């Protein structure tokens, strides 16, 4: 008998992508194993997602923990290789662009186990981003490439990947958002945190924004200039927290720094915000569907569909306060475009392809 389908998750963004794929394969009777590498761990970075997203608890938790890019990637590579030798899956499914993704894909490829990459083809063309390296390498290894948008399909084709391996399926992260939309309560989030309208949500953790003291200080000045106009609620990733604290982030009375939040609680805050400031990839997508103006504090994005078919806009630290002022003046849009196939059925499309390939 063929082995199971093995799903690899490692970090917060992986869980809402994996949930609809796992569910759709379960409906088709496919034997599966869910593996968590432990790249992100703890209650708010990991456990809460399995409770809220109807994901089963992982069959295996590798517990690799934190570390440098090299150390973390090496730890996942070694641990996943041992697991693959034991279980010999029929297919390994990896998600997104974190270190666990590229390490697990590489381990499988060396053992001649087929790899499926969910969220393939995204490109920022910025090799200074570790995630960009992970994306490119994973896509070269993968046998099945599931793309969220037409631009991703075009990138894969331009890189010489055969068309029969590429499948435009939509965005499974949006499946999860739409499935939980009734529980994403902006009024409750506003009440829980004592917020009046308008307020702004921020998520900031990218190395280019927080790793260097000069960048961190400039970022803090930009956030404080926004807080002069409206409350800023900032669920703060552990990465960069100490440096932003040292740069004075907490010194403005209208900056509310929170610990990382559960999926539903965080999106409740986002849904009620007048604008979101982010350097995260997934938040650009979620705001696109929710119709919340998104100001992405980066010079580029691997998700251009959120700009052409959504509410996203690239901004600089120097221009951030003016952009927020404009958003507050204009208010929330009444209607907005959404990328094709972001309709809540991406997981079903992915499962159909996988079942067909396995048979």
How many angstroms separate the CA atoms of 122 and 3, rounded?
A: 30
Q: Which of 276, 248, 284, 311 is nearest to 189 (CA)?
A: 276
Name residue 146's beta-bridge partners.
Answer: 118, 167
Contact 8, 80 (CB under 8 A): yes
How many angstroms separate the CA atoms of 209 and 205, rounded?
A: 7
The contacts of residue 207 (CB under 8 Å, 6+ apart) are 130
Enumerate the active-site residues.
205
How many angstroms separate the CA atoms of 12 and 48, rounded?
A: 10
* SS3 state of residue 232: strand
Q: Which of 169, 143, 152 is nearest to 24 (CA)?
A: 169
144-147/166-168 β-pairing = parallel
How many angstroms separate the CA atoms of 219 and 217, rounded?
A: 5
How many angstroms separate the CA atoms of 145 and 153, rounded?
A: 9
Query: Cβ atoms within 10 A of the Cβ of 134, count?
Result: 22
C-alpha distances (whole Å) from 134 to each of 122, 128, 330 are 11, 11, 38
60-61/32-36 β-pairing = parallel
Phi, psi of 114 (to 5 degrees): -60, 145
């Amino acid at each position: 008998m063929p082995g199971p389908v093995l799903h690899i998750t490692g970090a917060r963004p992986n869980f809402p992508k994996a949930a609809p794929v796992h569910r759709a394969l379960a409906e088709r009777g496919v034997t599966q194993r869910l593996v968590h590498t432990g790249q992100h761990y703890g209650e708010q970075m990991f456990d809460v997602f399995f409770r809220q997203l109807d994901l089963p608890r992982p069959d295996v938790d590798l517990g690799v923990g934190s570390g440098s890019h090299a150390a973390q990637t090496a730890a996942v590579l070694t641990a996943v290789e041992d697991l693959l030798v034991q279980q010999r899956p029929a297919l390994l499914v990896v998600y997104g662009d974190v270190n666990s993704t590229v390490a697990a894909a590489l381990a499988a490829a060396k053992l001649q186990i087929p790899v499926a990459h969910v969220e393939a083809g995204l490109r920022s063309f910025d090799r200074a981003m570790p995630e960009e390296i992970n994306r490119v390498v994973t896509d070269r290894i993968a046998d099945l490439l599931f793309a969220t948008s037409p631009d991703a399909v075009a990138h894969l084709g331009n890189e010489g990947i055969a068309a029969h391996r590429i499948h435009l399926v939509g965005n499974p992260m949006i499946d999860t958002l739409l499935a939980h939309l009734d529980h994403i309560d902006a009024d409750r989030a506003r009440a829980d945190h004592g917020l009046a309208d308008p307020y702004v949500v921020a998520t900031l953790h990218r190395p280019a924004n927080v790793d260097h003291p000069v960048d961190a200080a400039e970022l803090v000045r930009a956030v404080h200039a926004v807080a002069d106009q409206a409350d800023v609620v900032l669920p703060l990733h552990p990465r960069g927290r100490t440096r932003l604290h040292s740069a004075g982030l907490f010194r403005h009375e209208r900056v509310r720094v929170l610990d990382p939040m559960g999926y539903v609680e965080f999106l409740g805050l986002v849904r009620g915000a007048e604008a979101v400031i982010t350097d995260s990839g997934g938040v650009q997508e979620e705001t696109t569907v929710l119709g919340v103006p998104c100001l992405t504090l980066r010079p580029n994005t691997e998700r251009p569909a959120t700009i052409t078919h959504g509410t996203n806009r690239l901004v600089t630290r120097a221009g951030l306060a003016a952009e927020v002022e404009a958003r507050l003046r204009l208010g929330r849009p009444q209607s907005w475009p959404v990328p094709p196939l972001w309709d809540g059925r991406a997981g079903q499309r992915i499962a159909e392809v996988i079942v067909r390939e396995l048979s």
